Structure 1
């Protein structure tokens, strides 16, 4: 039996996995959605990058989980990738779900085209938080109006330090048994940067989903099957 620890991206909490969890549990596996510090029901809890890493490690240890499949969506790939190397033989696999990946000594914002200047300015203007984004941002991502409304209603401002503080890795990402899920409704995108190299070198497996960036809402059943397949590798 696998134990899926599910971590959603920026502004989201454990609630984002509500439509995925039943499919994983029906298949006989453990499913443990996690809200990171400072978000959703944990809003107000101070958080930096390493706080989020420790949130994940603590959850695995608190529940005494084995055969862990860590799933990191979007931003959450950064803390998930760091937590993966800290849970030792409890780890079975990592699934990076249309996500960023950690780079030692570099923050999440460093991968942005402007080096994160615009994001850092927005965080400074909003008392240390990256504010919610407009509804229009979700257009073109295979989401219904109802799904978009649900995401926007559940989103909370994101603690800025988690985005601007550097990741800490002890080993190369190639040491992780990992699957990268690329969400691409047009079928035209390719993985970039280090992910592309890890896939090309055969270290990581690439899986494509023909949906937008939030498949836990747009295609929960299909996403559950992708995760189940990854756990079986």
Structure 2
């Protein structure tokens, strides 16, 4: 069973984002970048399925600038077998990513695609669903547990009311949530081995996909600063303050 795991290079989640002076976007100059945390969970889940004997090959895929090769090497160090980098220096929107992934799926013929439910830079939460629609595959989104048996995937997913379990006939799409697992750290020997693992370089043109943006960012601003709170001596004062603020 082959699994494809798309990964994205994003601003490290420990770094506080800074907006560019002209308001055109987030300033990524001289800041730490890393693998999208939800994608790390996807890589970890694929590795666990391989360790359980369910998966035979893990192919990591990234679509973005050439520096995304570092992100793919991290996935290879964690345990992926090989990688594909689709180099696109301009930002590729979720639909473009889904179209490229659909072409890669046609070439690779995997039984499953496991990816993060969303990227922490744009929070779109669209790629997995779009890919499932393009392929006509079943999808299990926001997965907190994945079990493979008898040609089907049983996915426990997190919904507003609690948990929901769906059974998907393979091939299928699974998007990962935070509670699915705890990603491992790559050991130094595995980091060294990752340097010799196969990494193919492609472009969107190789797959016949037009990645021209369909959306325009008008302006990016930081959220307004929160006002300082106040202390009140008793409930009556609290109620009076709330009425004064128009809350109660």
Normalization by structure 2: what TM-score? 0.35
Higher helix share: 1
Normalization by structure 1: what TM-score? 0.37
